[in-house]
Structure 1
């Protein structure tokens, strides 16, 4: 019997955990599979092991593990597979398939355009857009964020789009914002490529709030509950359950 295990990152911020649960629950309702459950990689419960146990007790003999992640990085390549390998020893009669993170997709880049438009602030010709990624030691992260920024460039009437990161990669968000301020752009749009709210988004907001500048700094919303990203996750589920 088919089961689906959604593995979200987890957060110390209760609102972030709740946002992830509500998002995934919406996707579950669009997937015609009776056995589905949510777990977290860290910082929240249930754990991956507890999620697998729940599905097995309900009768699952095949489990599609769905990483609720934007991009391929350490959690995708290392942490989740290691956890599943350990757990699989407890359930030798259960087979597992492993889905993909969302990756770089035009429909997700278009959400960034939507988040900018939602500010209802016209973009000046000399504005700068800062696309803020989470960051990772995996080099693919920078490749992906750069590709996203390049595609966003084709969607907006602005010449300068830069990428920056909250951890592990350079330039850091703080350095990129400082550089933008020194360049005296009339506007700086800060666009988080972050799925759910949490500590990272709060850090961005606090940094923007405490930065004094003659430029207009416009903070856009995170990706959140946009229909396109729900559709993208549903597609990853359907791909994983049809793996041979």
Structure 2
């Protein structure tokens, strides 16, 4: 019997964990499979091991593991596989099918345009856009975020779009914002490529609040509960149903 295990990042902030659970539960209603569980990589429970145990106790003999992640990085390539390797030691007859992160998709980039539009601020011709990614030591992260920013420029017509990161990659968010303020753009739009609220979003918000006296900074909302995000995650679930499982 097939089970679905959604693996979200986890947060020490209760609001972020609740937002992730609410989002995934909405996706579960779109997936016609009886056995579905939510777990977290860190900072929240149930853990990956607990989620697998629950599915096994409910009768799962094969589990689709769905990373609730935007891009491929360390969590996808190392942390989740390490958890699955350990689980295979406990359940040698259990098979896993490992899904893909959402990755770079036009329908997700269009959400960023909507988040800009939702500010109800009319952009000036010289407006600066900063797309803010989480960041990773995996070089693919920068490639992906830059591709997203390029597409955002194509669909919005903004002439001046840069990327920056909250960790591991350069330039940092603080460096990019400081540079934009020094350049005296009439507006700076901050566009977070972040799924849920949490420590990182709060850091962005605090940094913006501390810098507003130096320029006109418009902070956009995170990706959140957009319907296109739910459809994208649902599609990742169904992709695993036609992928050969790994013993």
TM score, norm. by length of structure 2: 0.98
Helix, strand or coil at the partner of 2:211 = coil
Give the Cα–Cα distance (whole angstroms) in 2 for the partners of residues 242 and 94 of structure 1: 17
* Poorly superposed stretches of 4+, deviation over 3 Å: none
Give the Cα–Cα distance (whole angstroms) in 1 for the partners of residues 213 and 140 of structure 2: 33
Deviation, structure 1 residue 212: 4.0
Give the Cα–Cα distance (whole angstroms) in 1 for the partners of residues 27 and 67 of structure 2: 13
Deviation, structure 1 residue 158: 1.7
Please show how residues 53-68 of structure 1 align to structure 2 within 5 Å.
Answer: 53-68=53-68
Deviation, structure 1 residue 27: 0.2
Deviation, structure 1 residue 241: 2.1
Give the Cα–Cα distance (whole angstroms) in 2 for the partners of residues 70 and 214 of structure 1: 32
Helix, strand or coil at the partner of 1:132 = strand
Give the Cα–Cα distance (whole angstroms) in 1 for the partners of residues 26 and 193 of structure 2: 21
Please show how residues 131-142 of structure 1 align to structure 2 within 5 Å.
Answer: 131-142=131-142
Which residue matches 2:94? Answer: 94
TM score, norm. by length of structure 1: 0.99
Question: Aligned pair 1:44/2:44, yes or no?
Answer: yes
| Aligned-pair Cα RMSD in Å | 0.7
Which residue matches 1:198? Answer: 198
Helix, strand or coil at the partner of 1:154 = helix
Please show how residues 205-244 of structure 1 align to structure 2 within 5 Å.
Answer: 205-244=205-244
Helix, strand or coil at the partner of 2:90 = coil
Give the Cα–Cα distance (whole angstroms) in 1 for the partners of residues 12 and 221 of structure 2: 20
Deviation, structure 1 residue 89: 1.1
Helix, strand or coil at the partner of 2:79 = helix
Residue deviations 1:111-136 (CA, integer Å, cap 9, x gap): 00000000010111000000000000
Helix, strand or coil at the partner of 1:190 = strand
Helix, strand or coil at the partner of 1:17 = helix
Please show how residues 123-162 of structure 1 align to structure 2 within 5 Å.
Answer: 123-162=123-162
Residue deviations 1:15-61 (CA, integer Å, cap 9, x gap): 00000000000000000000000000000000000000000000000
Structure 1: state its 5+ residue gaps.
Answer: none
How many residue pairs match? The answer is: 244
CA contact (8 A) 1:124 1:158 kept: no
Q: Which moved more, 1:87-96 or 1:104-113?
A: 87-96
